[in-house]
Structure 1
Amino acid sequence: MKLPTIKGFDEAAFNKYLKNTGWLMFGRILSMVVGFMVARFLGPVSFGDLSFADAFTAIAAAIGALGLDTFIIREIINDPSKKDEILGTSLFLRLSVNLLLIPISIGLYLIFHRLSNNPGAPLTYVVILLSFAAFFKSFNVIDSYFQSQVQSKYVVQVQNICVILSALVKIVLVILHLPVIWFAWALVFDGFILASGLMLVYRLKGFEISKWHFKKSRAKSLLKQSAPLILSAVMVSIYMKIDQVMLKTEGSKAVGIYSAAAKISEAWYFIPVAIVTSVFPALILARKTDHERYLKRLQNLYDLLVAISLPVAVIITFTSSFIIDIIYENRFEGAETMLPIHIWSGVFVFLGSASSQFLLAEGFTKISFYRTACGAVLNILLNLWLIPLYAGVGASIATLVACASSTFYLLLIPKTRKQGIMMLKSLFLVTAFQKIFNR
């Protein structure tokens, strides 16, 4: 399918990178629909339990990724002859760390459960299963290889097949009215089949995982480069997921209602990830060859992401009650109040995803960490204040403020202030009007 020319992204090569985004749509939409169906079936309490366990283990999973994804892409682009060394070292590092994280996650949950004022039924087995589900994400290094070759469509095809299989399994679980532990097993199955599919497509493309090898010096180099991003990824995970963990003190039902609203709000977050991942090689190339074009592409990227996220936020704000009623019927009362607040976080998540690519391209990994750390700390402090007062509504406000503050943290740093101003121009449609009136 030929992509239409996009204003500001009219170079043939740039459209090549954007083309991969279209492959994601079917799988993501199907996954979203099935996710809504599962939430409606489980109801606020059981869905709250599953969401809490998923949020709790997601923080550990962020550590297990080691912040390596984009560095793998960059290393392979810069030195393609060393791909087996880069991939082998990266996989070994991830597998080792994720194995260590499984008992740590379980131990931390047991401590949290013991100290919680409103612990509810133990979720130990659910946490154990979701910890193993995160382990299989180690094989996403294969995804990074195909991204480096601008061949993400092969990975997306595998993902779509896995999404279909996953959807069928979850539909069967709903039909059989099975308890929440089975849905935790389904998430483990998701991770397993995706890892298997990635290994299979890599082999079908004529490559051998058996040729991968570990090199100590490469491991040190990767970890040294990615160390700030490991902490940054953890901080991102904290300020995106900590609300669901902290809401558990208000009970599983409160977590479930909030998670139902957040699930709708966050359903769109794959779009900026897909776009910025697809265009990252083009940004790197432009930075090397034409700095003016590089800045222009960044501004156009901000404009594009605002053009997608802003209308979604406005529409959902005014139709939240209708949307909640259609998707969940009357099972999540209160979610319609949280959704109009939480949905605006997406505008800042979209812009933050794009500016993260700028920080990475410029080597500003410490700034990336500082801004996400500030967002995470702010979110925790606001949750401590607002959750006891307003429960899920308070968590929604905390998330919105944290996302906005983290994204525009760049305005506080002199060498990144220009990017912050560029994002503000996009957010307030300044560049959009300039393009209209300069035609």
Structure 2
Amino acid sequence: MLNKLAALIQKLSPGLRQVIGNTSWLLADKIFQMGLGLVVGIWVARYLQPTDYGLLTFAITFVALFSAIANLGLGTIVIRDLARDPLGKDETLGTAFALQLIGGVLTLFLTVGTIALLKPDDTLTRWLVGIVAAGTIFQAFSTIEYWFQSQLQSKYTVIANNVVSVCYAGLRISLIQIGVSVLAFAGARLAEVALKALALVVAYRSNGNHIRSWRCSLSRAKALLQESWMLVLSGLAIYIYASSDQVMLGSLLDDTTELGFYSAAVKVSEVFNFIPAIVYQSLLPKFTELKKKDPNIYLQKFQIYFDVMSMLWILVAVPVCLLSPYLITILYGKSYAMSSAILSIYVWAQFGSNFGMARSAYLAVENKLHFSLYLSIIGAVTNVILNLFLIPNYGAIGATIATLITYFLVIVCLNFFFQDLRIIGRMILKSLNFYKAVTRIIKLVQ
């Protein structure tokens, strides 16, 4: 069996083998981290119980609301530019690092100031948000990941991330055994981000690179910001329409118990989100190269990309929907039983992640990232309005329905309202013909 698989891989083009190799490393990394994180995360949720677990989730999602400012939307642009011009890496990485460091500091002050205004009498929530927000400063070191991703050498960051994951899991387990309060788990999250930054530096140096060689260029910073400012607004808008449900559940309802139920369901549903993310990371550099070589083949391969995303959606959504009561009871216990109904509905929203990542890749390669801003703003406004109406009346179920409606509008319907995006809409519709989608995927590997 292994010999046949090896022979099949050898028949593939060198570029496709490189993509598969890089994706395999990322996949192994995410499976390991997902398994470890899920087990320990569920243990933490059982320990904290729905109310405190909901409170910690609120702090994390509230900080994430401002995360677009910390990374300045540079990820996709930097990976693309490094793939195009590897020799200019020191200037690109140095400038991106400086910009993201400034963004992290701004995010910290903005987040802490905002929560102080919103909840002036809630000391615990303000401390939780402040501790989690401090981690945004260390996100500047994610520029190292951009380099490895652009060169399809993710095995180095995989090793670094796995070491940190083991340390973080051990720390959280120790905190549970000691019997600490919810504040300690926020501190553990901060420690994780700091350790990850250190591990990335070690991985970068061990590969023969030196951070001392980085240089910051004002002209390069202007060029990056000129293109990324739209992605900053887009990232903020994306977060609002993707995660405002959790922030609003924690804000509109009297306590965070409902948010605890909702967060447990979302965590199970989003377990497989790493798959479209790592496929995106591996394919973006290759699509950038392929567009230059053969535009026709490039579009054919993009259709297959959407086909794969469509099949992944169905393969995850159907079994999770049917088994949701058993999954919740086994994983979280009877105290989270209310999460099963939420999960059975929410899991169908995974098409938003799958097709959304594929569309983002197309927009990045085509230099049409401004559409991300338009679509995200529409999605953010839609989701906030729906949540304002549905959450007070239906709680977590209302937030789930709002998410499904918003994703369908933004990811599928709106493509047909923009001339440049209709090709994406057609690709999505074609991919929903599962028979033909499978046929195209099989032809690719034959």
C-alpha distance 311-124 of structure 1, shift in aligned 2 (>3 A): same
1:317 aligns with 2:321: yes
Structure-2 change in CA distance of 1:122 and 1:171 (3 Å): closer
TM-score, normalising length: structure 1 = 0.94
Q: 1:335 aligns with which of 310, 324, 339?
A: 339
TM-score of the aligned structures, taking structure 2 as reference length: 0.93
> Quick one: which amino acid aligns to residue 421 of structure 1?
R
Counterpart in 1 of 2:86?
80
Deviation (angstroms), 1:15: 3.0
CA distance in 2, matches of 1:289, 1:136: 38
Question: Which of the residues 348, 353, 356 maps onto 1:352?
Answer: 356
| Residues 5, 15 of structure 1: 8 Å contact kept | no
1:300-327 deviations in Å (ceiling 9; x for gaps): 1111122122121011111110100000
Contact 1:18-1:279 at 8 Å conserved across structures: no
Q: Are residue 233 (structure 1) and residue 239 (structure 2) matched?
A: no
Residue 432 of structure 1 is matched in structure 2 by 437
Alpha-carbon distance in structure 2 between the residues aligned to 1:282 and 1:431: 24
Alpha-carbon offset, residue 281 of structure 1: 1.2
Distance 1:120 1:327, change over 3 A: farther
Alpha-carbon distance, 1:79 to partner:
2.4
- How far apart, in 2, do the equivalents of 1:279 and 1:207 lie? 24
Whole-angstrom distance in 2 between the partners of 1:389 and 1:11? 55
SS at match of 1:391: helix
Match of 2:64 among 58, 82, 88: 58
- CA distance, structure 1, for counterparts of residue 372 and residue 364 of structure 2: 8
Offset of residue 64 of structure 1? 0.9
| Superposed displacement of residue 58, structure 1 | 0.2
Residue in structure 1 matched with residue 285 of structure 2 by the alignment: 281
Does the alignment pair 1:402 with 2:416?
no
Counterpart of 1:26 in structure 2 is 32
Q: 2:219 aligns with which of 217, 220, 224?
A: 217
Q: Is the 8 A contact 2:304 2:440 kept in 1?
A: no
Q: Distance in 2 between matches of 1:335 and 1:217?
A: 51
Contact between 1:68 and 1:226, CA under 8 Å: does it hold in 2? yes
| Cα distance change of structure 1 residues 108 and 5 upon mapping to structure 2, 3 Å threshold | farther
Provide Cα deviations, 1:222-251, integer angstroms capped at 9, x if missing partner: 000111111111111112221111111212
The partner residue of 1:167 within 169, 173, 176 is: 169
Query: Which residue pairs with 2:179 in the alignment?
Result: 177
How far 1:433 moved relative to its partner? 6.0
Structure 1 residues 123 and 11: CA distance shift in structure 2, 3 A: same
Is the 2:138–2:193 Cα contact (8 Å) retained in structure 1?
Answer: yes
8 Å CA contact 1:113–1:122 kept in 2: the answer is no
Which residue in 2 is equivalent to 1:414? 419
Opposite residue 409 of structure 2, the aligned amino acid is: S
Runs of 4+ off more than 4 Å: 1-7, 433-439
Aligned equivalent of 1:38? 44
Does the alignment pair 1:306 with 2:310?
A: yes
Q: 1:47 aligns with which of 22, 29, 53?
A: 53
Match of 1:113 in 2: 119
Aligned-residue offset at 1:181: 0.5
Conserved? CA contact 2:46–2:332, under 8 Å:
yes
2:304 touches 2:441 (CA, 8 Å); kept in 1? no
Q: Are 1:376 and 2:380 matched, yes or no?
A: yes
Q: Measure how far apart 1:34 and its partner are.
A: 1.5
Residue 108 of structure 2 is aligned to residue 102 of structure 1: yes
Say if 1:216 and 1:436 are closer, same or farther in 2 by CA, change over 3 A.
closer
Gaps of 5+ in 2: none
Cα offset, 1:432, TM superposition? 2.3
* CA RMSD after TM alignment: 2.1
Offset of residue 20 of structure 1: 2.4
Residue by residue over 1:140-160, the C-alpha shift from the partner in whole angstroms, topping out at 9 and shown as x without a partner, is 000001111110111111111
After TM superposition, give the deviation of residue 52 of structure 1 in Å: 0.2
Q: For 1:326 and 1:192, how far apart are their aligned partners in 2?
A: 33
SS at match of 1:123: helix
Q: 1:42-67: per-residue Cα shift (whole Å, max 9, x none)?
A: 11011001000000000111221111
1:185 counterpart SS class: helix
Distance 2:111 2:196 in 1: 22
- Segments of 5+ residues of structure 1 without an aligned counterpart are none
Q: Give the whole-Å Cα distance in 1 for the aligned partners of 2:381 and 2:397.
A: 19
**SS class of match (1:344):** helix
SS in 2 for 1:269: helix
Q: Would the aligned equivalents of 1:299 and 1:422 in 2 still touch at CA under 8 Å?
A: yes
The one-letter code of the counterpart of 1:145 is W
Percent identity over the alignment is: 34
